[in-house]
Each structure stands twice: as C-alpha cells, then as structure tokens.
A and B are shown apart, each in its own frame.
Chain A
Amino acid sequence: MKKTYIAPNIERNYAGNMNKYGAKSVVRHQDNIDGVPIKEIVEQFGSPVLVLSESVIRRRYRRMQDVMQMHYPNIQQAWSYKTNYLGAVCNIYHQEGSIAEVVSGMEYDMARRLGIPGKDIIFNGPGKRAEDLQKAVKEGARIHIDHLDELYLLEKVARELKIIPNVAIRVNMDTGISPQWSRFGFNYENGEALRAIQRLVSGKAMKLSGLHTHIGTFILDAQAYYYAAKALLDLAQKVKDELHVVLDYIDLGGGFASQNTLLGSYTPGEFASPSIDHYAQAIGDAFNESQFVRDHDPQLVLETGRALIDEAGTMISSVIGKKNLPTGERAIILDAGVNTMITAWWYKLKVTPTRPFPGAYQNTVFYGPLCMNIDVVRNAVPFPDLYTGETVLISPAGAYNNTQWMQFIEYRPPVVLITETGKLELLRAREELSDIIEREFIPEHLRNI
C-alpha cells in the first residue's frame, strides 16, 4: 500500500522566529458545531452556510447581564438590531429580557413586526425622517436625538400630534480613545450637549428621560467606559441642578470588543480584547462614585452588539480550488468570499480545518469566488494542504455579517440556527434568482431582444 501523501514543503529556519505565544501556530481542526457534525450541516443546507449557535448567544447574554449586575444592579440591555437583525436572533434576545435598539425606520419596523411595543424600542441614528418620528412618537418609543435639526423636527412632530415623547440626547466626548466618534450627537466638552438640553427643556414639547453615548466600536480600552459613564453622570447632575429635571437612564451604547482579531493587530483578539468583566468594572466604578446615582439610581442601558454575538456565528465554506502564487504562498479559492464574509475587511478571521491533517503547514491565502482583487477572506495563515470539496470554518462570523453582506454576483447563503437541543433550524433560506429580480422592471421596449 502506498503512503499517505502530503504536499512537499520547505522553510528556512530563522533564529528567534518564535512569537511570544510559542514556536509554531498549531492549526487545530474542528469537525462539529455544538456537537452537530459539519458534514451533516453541509449535506442538509449546502455550502456556504452561516451557522449560529443559540446556546452561545444565550450564554453570552446571560454572562453580560450577570457580570454587569455584580457591579450595578439596575441594568437593561437593548439588542442592537444592526449587528444581526434576523427575526429569530432578535427574539432570542427579547426572550432573555432585552429591549430593542434600532437606528433606522427599517429597523424600527422590524422591531414592531416582532411585537416589541414602542416603549421598549430605543430609536437611535442620525437619519430619522419625519414619518419615522411620527410613528415613533405615536407608539411611545424612546427617541434619542442626534442633532439640532432633529430636535426641531421632533418638537414640531410632537406638537402636531399633541403627544409628549420620551427622549434622550446623544452625547459625544473625549474618552481618550481614537478615533473619537464626534460626528454623532452633541459635544460634551464644549458645552453643546448642555445647551441642546436647555433648548429641549425650555421647548416643553418633550420629556428628557435619558442621556446616550456610543463612543465607538471594538473599544480595546475598557477605561474609556469609565470616562464616558462619568461624563454622562456629571451631565445628569448638572441637568438636575440647573434645570430641575431628573433623568431615568444613562445609555452607554455598544462598542465592547469581541474576540476577533483586527487587521493590523499582531496580538490575537483572545489576548487583546478586554473581557466583559473589565468593561463592567470600569462602568461600575463610575456609577458607584456618582452622587447622582446614590440619589436617583438611574437605569444603566447597554446596547452591546458584536461582543454578544460575534462568537456565536461560524461560516462553513468549501474549497473550490487551489493554486500556487509566485510569492511561494498557496492560494485557496473558497465558495464564500467577502460578499458573504464582509467582516474580512476589518478582521483577521480565523480559518479552521474540519478534519485532522498530517504534516507541515504552508502559508496560505484564502480567496473568495468574486473576480476582484479585494476578495481576500484571510491573508497569510499557516495551513495544512486542502483539496477541492473540503470544508473550512471561518469565524467569528455572528456580528455585522448577515446584515452587511452583499448580493454581488452570487446568491447569499442560508443561515441556520443550532438550537439548545441540537436541532438545526433554517432562519433564512439561500437566495435564488426570484429574490434578486423580484423588484425589477423591464420597460416594454426592452422586452424583446
């Protein structure tokens, strides 16, 4: 019998080529998700397929709730729809007790479709239209005001409808991190936020119930949340002292980092990203130091997105072919490219083989099926030799993926949930031609060719 073949490989040895985590990056294989064999998932749903784990989603939500409560008990989470707005996913969070955080009229409609009452919807975003505001005011949503023109518009809408809406002001500030997301909301340091609040209160058309900030996304410095919380609590105290309005809640937005590794980051995300405990500690410190908190026990709202769901998602993808690049690297062409793994543009995604491999690894680049240079799912990773038809896992893929993916030259893949009992449930079917052309029209004179 002949021996098992492995592709020939050679590398020059360098003194000191070890990184700080060890000499060799060991590529471990994973042949199942939550105990369900990858083979079985692909047989049933094809490839590529995005798989979400209900257990991981629930576990991470509960962990966030528990850890935050250890530091400050009055906490309410609001699921950030944009991170993943599949109805089933939102409902898992709603079952767990989360309210909804939406940033557009479309997301607002999605939350209403799931039966979320207006009072349990936080309406953020800089692009609310008059008709969005009318609906939100009528249904009693919590509207977070982003800029002055929106304030004036909302005031007008509220007066016309003779309803006093519950609103919050979005604040931006310097928390020591960059980039500073100063294009959203009113600035804290230069007094703009306080002036907007004065204007809002004197208009008497709305009830100011909270303050909101979202300092950015993938914030690697937990301490930034201490400064953000402190700034909002100081502002709440000032609003009470000067305007005699006592706020009900402080909303610190989202932005906690997931375990993904940012492009350009040498340190893997598992090491670089703070844990939920670090963020909770920083926020808890600011709350527990605050006189306003001692007097009024405001609700702390968090709109965490990616840190809750990123690790719950895995893209299963298959090898279409491979080729050797003039650089000496091996290139693998996958059936899922940046069209379906759009987060490859800012993450060094993890690619994992689904069976064990003998032998050495070789630097490998993973491309997608698009005929474009930008279609790189993962650059330069030591990987065993793969053949056509084999599957790999691309992860984490739970956050911002199926909300931002593109329908460019390909049908988008199905999304499947592995339930807590290990059942496979289809959440979104693979697209087909009718999905793409359904809203298209061909004028009469262009019908015959």
Chain B
Amino acid sequence: MNVNKLQNLAMNDNGFIFDPNTGYSYTANETGILILRKLASGLDKDGVRTAVREIYEVSEDNFNSDFEHYMLMLESLDMIEF
C-alpha cells in the first residue's frame, strides 16, 4: 500500500481536506479524518483497525466492512495505491 499522497494533505478537525498537489478539496467525517491521519502516520491496516476500535464503540465485523469500503473509496479518489 502506497500512502505517499496522504502525507501532503492539509486536514482540519472539521473534516476539510486540501490536496496541494492536485488542488482538490475533500470533506470527510470524524472517523474518515482519523483513518487518513493514521494512514499518513505510517500505520498499516491492522494498526488502523486497532486505533479506531480503541476510540470508538464498534464491533470488529461492522468496522471491517466499513473500513474496506473506505479504502476502496480512497483508492478510487486516487489518494492511495494498492
């Protein structure tokens, strides 16, 4: 997984994200931002899973499906590469 592009993103806690390389901006929710930050900091997928489930009340199954989906979204937005 290549997360280089995430490292340049400007993010704030309101969910606003700006990508200076492309000029695109994005809106993400709280969990969306948290995951981006964790990925940008170098955590792998398992690391992100643990980090999120430490903070939020969610079963492993429910989170896994949402997380996989979110990763696909990031890929389709060309923010990460597998």
**CB-CB nearest in chain B for A329:** B69
Collect the chain A residues with CB atoms within 8 Å of residue B58's CB.
Answer: 5
- The residue in A6, A326, A359 that gathers the most chain B C-beta atoms within 10 A of its C-beta is A6
Selected contact of B69 from candidates A2, A11, A330, A387, CB within 8 Å? A330
Task: Flag whether B13 is at the interface (Cβ < 8 A).
Answer: no
Asked if A2 and B73 sit within 8 Å, CB to CB, the answer is: no
How many cross-chain pairs have Cβ atoms below 8 Å apart between A and B?
82
Asked if B25 and A3 sit within 8 Å, CB to CB, the answer is: no
| Cα of A3 to Cα of B72 in the assembled complex, Å | 25
Task: Flag whether B28 is at the interface (Cβ < 8 A).
Answer: yes
Chain B contact residues, majority secondary structure: helix
**CB-CB nearest in chain A for B68:** A324
Interface of chain B residues 13 through 40 with chain A (CB within 8 A): 15, 17, 24-32, 34-36
Interface residues on B, range: 20 to 34
* A 310-346 to B, binary, CB cutoff 8 A, 1 in contact else 0: 0000000000001110101010000000000000000
Asked if A5 and B65 sit within 8 Å, CB to CB, the answer is: no
Asked if B26 and A11 sit within 8 Å, CB to CB, the answer is: yes
Task: Flag whether A115 is at the interface (Cβ < 8 A).
Answer: no
Asked if A8 and B28 sit within 8 Å, CB to CB, the answer is: yes
Asked if A328 and B72 sit within 8 Å, CB to CB, the answer is: yes
- The residue in A6, A10, A360 that gathers the most chain B C-beta atoms within 10 A of its C-beta is A10
**CB-CB nearest in chain A for B75:** A328
Task: Flag whether A445 is at the interface (Cβ < 8 A).
Answer: no
B48 to chain A, nearest CB (A): 10
Collect the chain B residues with CB atoms within 8 Å of residue A13's CB.
Answer: 24-27
Asked if A4 and B26 sit within 8 Å, CB to CB, the answer is: no
Asked if B24 and A5 sit within 8 Å, CB to CB, the answer is: no
B69 to chain A, nearest CB (A): 3
Known interface pairs A6-B31, A8-B28, A328-B73; 7 further A-B residue pairs with C-beta atoms within 8 A, sorted by A's residue number: A7-B66, A8-B67, A9-B29, A11-B26, A360-B15, A360-B29, A387-B62
A interface residues, Cβ below 8 angstroms from B: 1-13, 322-324, 326, 328, 330, 359-360, 385, 387
